[in-house]
Amino acid sequence: MQQTPKQHIVNVDGTDLCVFQWGRDEPGCQQVLLVHATGFHARCWDQVVALLPEQWSVFAVDMRGHGRSANQGPYTWQRFGDDVRQLCATLQLADAIAVGHSMGGHCLTHTCGHDSQYFRQLILLDPVIMDPQLYQSSKRHQYDDVADHPVARRRNHFADADAMYDRYADRAPYALWDPAVFRDYCDYGVLPAAEGEGMVLACPPEVEASIYMGNFDSDLYALIPRITTPVVVLRATPRDASSQTMDFSASPTWPQLAQQFPNAQDVYLPDLTHFIPMQDPGLVADFIIAAGDAKPAYVGSE
């Protein structure tokens, strides 16, 4: 599937969300919904989409505060989950394969826990659903203010997408990514600066930081036992629980997560980082195609 996607604007509770659509738009087509991670955008899925069948209908959304969608809060995980829930209704999804990376997987779990009729399978790529005990902790993160978070201080101005690419291509974790995915990340991850010349990040650093700081505020463990939809959880090597630094390459997902769903498969990928779809878009595409065929795509450690 190689064609340029159509671009739609969908209004959700007064906030404009940008949705990209590839493939056919006909009744009965296999539908796929792709939901990105915090700080990313819909076009990070381009290399996955390119490997999917031409006859399918594929949607990828820019979440609020990201990509071409409106920078309009609140940026809470509850709000992101409700956005996806309403988007599914607007797109009239039925029997769709839903794929979410990191925060995107969290949002899809939220949606399916409330409205399972939209999906035939969930593919959760390191979905940032953490150890249940962490949601009960009184000290949930080490930063008291968004401005103190290291992500809030990341560089936010570049001459153009090429300058962003050149600055980070050889640095971790980007050097581990498929080069075409990193190119898409840069090309579609900046917007013209509102004032002056150059480009700024499509997800402002302070927005991204606030999302990270709120990731303990939506506990899904009351919903998960209700989800009878088939689920596949892909996860990388877990984070060191004793570490005081934010390791974005290791998995934040609770290793026992898949066991909490009534019908789920755990796929452990120790050779990959948290950035599974960026490193191996072909593997992700294989899982999506297998979901369409109702066949297992991978036999891994359980």
User: 177-195: per-residue pLDDT in tens?
Assistant: 999 999 999 999 999 999 8
- Pairwise CA distance, residues 99 & 58, whole Å: 11
Least confident among 24-28, 61-65, 206-210, 285-289: 24-28
Is residue 218 pLDDT above 80, yes or no?
no
CA of residue 19 relative to chain centroid, distance: 14
Q: Share the mean pLDDT of the chain.
A: 91
Q: At 57, list the tokens.
A: 């209908």
Q: At 167, list the tokens.
A: 């600055």
Q: Which of 297, 299, 224 is nearest to 263 (CA)?
A: 224
Neighbouring residues of 236: CB distance < 8 A, sequence distance ≥ 6: 126, 249, 250, 251, 269, 270, 272, 273, 274, 276
Between 233 and 149, residue with greater pLDDT: 233
Between 3 and 77, residue with greater pLDDT: 77
pLDDT given at position 215 = 66
Between 95 and 1, residue with greater pLDDT: 95
pLDDT given at position 299 = 46
Is residue 300 pLDDT above 80, yes or no?
no
pTM over 0.75: yes
Q: Could you report the per-residue pLDDT of 42-68, keeping only the tens digit for each? A: 999 999 999 999 999 999 999 999 999
pLDDT given at position 214 = 73
pLDDT given at position 162 = 98
Q: Could you report the per-residue pLDDT of 128-153, keeping only the tens digit for each? A: 999 998 888 655 556 677 887 888 89
pLDDT given at position 113 = 97
* Residue 1 binned pLDDT confidence (cut-offs 50, 70, 90): confident
Per-residue H/E/C for 17-38: EEEEEEECCCCCCCEEEEECCC
Q: Could you report the per-residue pLDDT of 13-47, keeping only the tens digit for each? A: 999 999 999 998 888 899 999 999 999 999 999 99
Between 188 and 1, residue with greater pLDDT: 188
Is residue 244 pLDDT above 70, yes or no?
no
Kindly report the CATH class assigned to 6-149+207-293. Answer: alpha beta
- DSSP H or E stretch at residue 83: helix 77-91
Q: Where are the domains of the chain?
A: 6-149+207-293
pLDDT given at position 302 = 41
Q: Which of 94, 107, 24 is nearest to 62 (CA)?
A: 107
Strands (E), the chain: 6-12, 15-23, 31-35, 57-62, 96-101, 119-125, 157-158, 190-192, 199-201, 231-235, 264-268
